[in-house]
Structure 1
Amino acid sequence: MDNLATTWVGATAKQISRAVRRGDTTATQVVADHLEQIAISDPALTAFRVVRGGEAIVEAEKVDDQEDLANLPLAGVPVAVKENTAVAGLPTWHGSAAARTAVAEEDHEVVRRLRGAGAVVVGVTRMPEMGLWATTDGADGPTRNPWSLDRTPGGSSGGSAAAVAAGLVPIAQGNDGLGSIRIPAACCGLVGLKPGRDVIPCDLGVDNWLGLAENGILATTVADAALGFSVLAGRSPAKLTPPDRLRVGVALRSPVQGVRADEPNRDAVATAAKLLGQAGHDTVTAEPPYTTGVRIAGLLTWFAAAYREAQASGLDLKTLQPRTRRHVRLGKMAWNRGWVRQEQRDAWRAKSLAFFEEKNIDVLLTPALATTPPPADGHSGGSWRHNLIENIRYAPYAGPWNIAGLPAIVVPIGLRPDGLPVGVQFVGKPDSELLLLSIAGVLEVANPWTRHAFV
């Protein structure tokens, strides 16, 4: 904490917006404070692709010039946007110079909603090439986890997670195609919400990664996650209340055969279940019906989504990283041979919904990760096989719920023996985002977590 720039660095989005609306501070001051902190901390983290210094100050001044701030739920709040999401006036990098697209003429809808709520975009955050991997690094080096600089912050929304965990912004936008919000949230000790299908505008590439991808939010508190979710979903900010008595299914079995959650992750699930029991909820063992079919469908869809993105963008495969080239080629084969079918994904969604009904559970509790986050370095130049094994070995629990299109949230529980955060995942039925946030709030009250790891 010695490197804190000023008072407003480390404040929540709700605290900042309330203070700006009341006139206790200005958006300009808040943004300047955070830009100063970014200048101090980001050289060690490399969370940002671009920092919009002067532009962000001008935008903050425009917020301050508005006569009525009462209807701006994010008045003056500095936010970060993932680099595959269009921000007017900037290229959209997609994780590499090879995949970069032209300067965007207008904001993506989620960026428009953030700005419309009074937020100020201070920069765009880094991701792995084409968002394919659960580690965030590239030709110009890795993004680092503020809890331990030799470890990854996860991926693909790794830059957004690192920025929030280090206090460089109070909240950040990310997107999640096979865990790309929840994995970084678990790595960095954050609340990370992936909404269900079609709740927040997506518009990411070709068919939203064949229906896998959703935009969502990363935050240090449940209240901030709820506020960010409401803005992105185009809703009035919701007041969360403790949920009525719930029946919570608890599952430890990995979706991937041969991969098992380590002791700290199993202990995190046990702690969460105990806390929910103490709060008056019922917990029962309920292992999802993971099948070989859903595992294969997940892999093939992951491959094919990359191929279709590369094809639509006219990318020259020779300019991509070796791991990405092989991934795209596998996707081309899978797509052209008809191995990737919507009915596979629909079947898993139906099976998932039936599972909730058959087990009579309201939500499902699982580990967020299987083991400690991998090292920060050595992935972008590594082989496709290395990256595949690394991703599956440490982060197998997220992907099935993208295929099913169900909402899911990661919540911090504490720290591992190695000092890195550990969290758990909750999965809900369609339209249960606010319920998931309410459950997260129960854990936050019962088991407060350390919000930041300042660098």
Structure 2
Amino acid sequence: MTADDELCFASAHELAARIRARDLSPVEVADAVIERIERLDPHLVAFCAFEADQVRAAAEEAEQAVMRNEPLGPLHGVPISVKDLIFTTDLPTVGGSKAYVGFVPDEDDIVVERVRRAGGIVLGKTNVPDFGYGPTFDPVFGTTRNPWDLTRSPAGSSGGSAAAVAAGLGPVSLGSDGGGSIRVPASFCGIYGLNPSFGRVPLYPGTRDTRFPGFSGWESLERIGPLTRTVTDAALVLDVLKGPDPRDRHSLPDAGERYLDDLDRDLTGLRIGWTLDWGGYARVDAAVATLVERAAQVLADLGAEVETACPGFPDPAATFGTIMALDADLRTMRELVDRYPPGEAPPRLVTLLEQERSFVDASSAVAARKSLYNSLWRFFEHYDVLLTPSTPVTAFPVDLPGPTEIGGLPVTDPMPLARFTAPISLAGNPCASIPCGWSEEGLPVGLQIVGNHLDDRLVLQVSRAFERARPWADARPPAASAAGATASVSGRGDLHDHS
């Protein structure tokens, strides 16, 4: 790798510190990342909107601010990409939909405002499937590929964000997660994906503004969080994004604490429960189960009290589907379908609109959601942390809509990848996916770390402890050095032991 390539794999925390110290120029960083995107992204299709001149101009402005000794924000000069379901005023927000081609919002999403205010440079928009439904097949911009194996999918809907970060196309991407859309791509691409507590990071216009059907659904499910290569970077970005905003009635007050502080804690005596099957209804591939079990043992070796345990709720798949429909504005969504050319409306959207649901169905789903959360808070009376696989499988072939089998049995579930993530989306608990190893095929496997209500700090601390024991940030996917290559990680299972 060249020196510029190594610069592209530097953490946001390091880049910001070096820029503040005048050891590194924002322009130097921007030029390295731009060159890398132009070289690798034609093979990955991680980006759907990218203007090199715009990025350079922002970097030059950031450099002038340094030279003028102006106060610098915590992300000053750091390039950050933004998922194309998050509004940006200087780049199109298409959401992977032919109904929004050429749409440029008149206001930034709150998180973009905060990134800019912190000195971050918006690098571009990352690819998504049509309104975030499914793996990252984008009918407008093309299909995103997994940097670990270009024949495999990065999943969705933050697939472009995860692929970009994994391949060194910027240290951070902002993603969104309504059922697993940060955690699943993070797992498939071997990076860290943080899904903060519901309300921790305010959202608007996305999911909140009914002027934009397709973008305005998922109000009670969606969260925005960072995809990064290190836990420290995720904490750094969360410190920038958190805090209330009157445009989001769900947003939480800010107690003034910094998640970047006190990341390194002793896990001795921490109570951890882990499950591979949610008590019986979920399946998982053997390779994933083995690595997740080993990850649980790593935390036990660090002093935590670890045992198999499960909150014990019934399969919430039907509940999730009904809540998702309830969050959608079905009337305007039907009008939106009419904007598509005949026969080109996304099948998942058509299915959502065609399925008959009664008021009783909706009421029952709301009640089931309450019961699920009650199971979780009771679980957390006895445990501090819950562990599960992030996904039941590793990355599947890029031309498929999902895995065809799990645990050796055919897939019949309409949302098989969200088996472990969707229940936590319904509850709103803080959670993350962290790399816990690679399969014999060289494909990443993720561990989901779930915290108690509003305990984002502990999720980050447990993540950091695992990262220190089994670091992954130096792992480089094959596409990061030679686009077109497929993964080959000879004999690699567990992460390296650096404890």
* Structure-1-length-normalised TM-score: 0.90
Which structure shows the higher helix fraction?
1
Contact 1:252 1:287 in 2 (8 A): no
**1:45-444 map, 5 Å:** 45-66=44-65, 67-68=68-69, 71-100=72-101, 102-138=103-139, 140-203=141-204, 204-206=206-208, 209-234=218-243, 236=258, 238-239=260-261, 240-244=263-267, 245-254=269-278, 257=281, 259-292=282-315, 294-306=316-328, 308=330, 311=333, 314-316=336-338, 318-319=340-341, 320-330=344-354, 333-334=356-357, 337-341=359-363, 342-357=366-381, 360-379=382-401, 389=412, 392-444=415-467
- Structure 1 residues 253 and 444: alpha-carbon distance in aligned structure 2, compared to 1, 3 A threshold: same
Gaps of 5+ in 2: 209-215, 244-255, 403-410, 484-499
**AA of the residue aligned to 1:267:** T
- Structure 1 residues 426 and 97: alpha-carbon distance in aligned structure 2, compared to 1, 3 A threshold: same
Measure the CA separation in 2 of the matches of 1:366 and 1:79: 29
Measure the CA separation in 2 of the matches of 1:190 and 1:302: 27
Measure how far apart 1:137 and its partner are. Answer: 3.9
SS in structure 2 at match of 1:340: helix
The C-alpha deviation readout for 1:321-353, integer Å capped at 9, x for no partner, is 44234333245x33x645224443233222221
SS in structure 1 at match of 2:185: helix
Contact 2:81 2:173 in 1 (8 A): yes
Measure the CA separation in 2 of the matches of 1:421 and 1:7: 21
Task: Tell me the matched-pair count.
Answer: 442
Measure the CA separation in 2 of the matches of 1:65 and 1:309: 49
Measure how far apart 1:390 and its partner are. Answer: 7.2
The C-alpha deviation readout for 1:290-317, integer Å capped at 9, x for no partner, is 314x332112223444554953974427
Measure the CA separation in 2 of the matches of 1:253 and 1:368: 12
**AA of the residue aligned to 2:47:** F
Measure how far apart 1:249 and its partner are. Answer: 0.4
SS in structure 1 at match of 2:24: coil
Contact 1:195 1:433 in 2 (8 A): yes
- Structure 1 residues 125 and 322: alpha-carbon distance in aligned structure 2, compared to 1, 3 A threshold: closer
Measure how far apart 1:7 and its partner are. Answer: 4.4
Contact 1:372 1:394 in 2 (8 A): no
Contact 1:182 1:409 in 2 (8 A): yes
SS in structure 1 at match of 2:387: strand
**AA of the residue aligned to 1:205:** T
Contact 1:11 1:170 in 2 (8 A): yes
Measure how far apart 1:158 and its partner are. Answer: 0.4
Measure the CA separation in 2 of the matches of 1:133 and 1:12: 29
Measure how far apart 1:261 and its partner are. Answer: 1.0
Measure how far apart 1:101 and its partner are. Answer: 7.2
- Structure 1 residues 225 and 452: alpha-carbon distance in aligned structure 2, compared to 1, 3 A threshold: farther
Q: Could you tell me which residue of structure 2 aligns to residue 40 of structure 1?
A: 39
Measure the CA separation in 1 of the matches of 2:189 and 2:76: 26
Measure the CA separation in 2 of the matches of 1:317 and 1:106: 23
Contact 1:99 1:129 in 2 (8 A): no
Contact 1:135 1:155 in 2 (8 A): yes
Identity of aligned residues (%): 34
Measure how far apart 1:165 and its partner are. Answer: 0.2
Measure the CA separation in 2 of the matches of 1:309 and 1:165: 39
Measure how far apart 1:429 and its partner are. Answer: 0.9
Contact 1:156 1:180 in 2 (8 A): yes
Contact 2:92 2:105 in 1 (8 A): yes
* Structure-2-length-normalised TM-score: 0.83
**AA of the residue aligned to 2:295:** A
Measure the CA separation in 1 of the matches of 2:137 and 2:292: 26
Gaps of 5+ in 1: 381-387
SS in structure 2 at match of 1:225: helix
**AA of the residue aligned to 1:199:** R
